[in-house]
Amino acid sequence: MELYIGYNDNGELIGLENVKEIEEKISNGIRGKIVPDCSVFVSINNSTLDNKDYIIINVSKGVNIYSLKDKGIIKGTYIRNGSCSIPATEETVKQMIIKNSNITFETSVANNQNLTFNYIREAFMGINIDINNKKYYEKFIYA
């Protein structure tokens, strides 16, 4: 993903004053305010067009969940929604952690180790599914 700084909302180059200072602030913010360190996935360059300076930030896909250091992983993790960055919910952060940990459903350990067919039958009856019905039985056994 590329971010351009020095352009207005209409995509017109307006330029920046003190481009080196802004570039340094961006770099320091990335290094000091985001955990874990993601600077290896970010490159910051400046350029000039029509005597107007601007900054290009290239962001490669990382391998971790990144968050704002001072807010912590739950409150400091943001996700993209179109052109906006919105705070991730606690559930979304948990799902991201599981996705990035390469833990599959089949290899995860159940917190409740006292699971029985009676337990699953009652749980499914609570949502109007009869596991004794042949169509569900075949789905579960041969899936």
Phi and psi torsions of 125, nearest 5°: -60, -30
Please give the Cα distance from 140 to 133 (Å, whole number).
11
87, 78 contact by CB (below 8 A) = yes
pTM check: above 0.85:
no
Question: What does each of the 143 residues of the chain score in pLDDT, given as a tens digit?
Answer: 899 999 999 999 999 999 999 999 999 999 999 999 888 899 999 999 999 999 999 999 887 788 999 999 889 999 888 888 899 999 999 888 878 777 777 777 777 777 777 877 888 888 888 777 777 666 555 55
Please give the Cα distance from 14 to 30 (Å, whole number).
24
65, 75 contact by CB (below 8 A) = no
Residue ranges per structural domain of the chain? 1-64, 72-108, 109-143
Q: For 27, how many CA atoms within 13 A lie in the half-sphere containing its CB?
A: 13
Nearest to 100 by CA among 126, 121, 73, 81: 73
Q: What is the number of residues in the chain?
A: 143
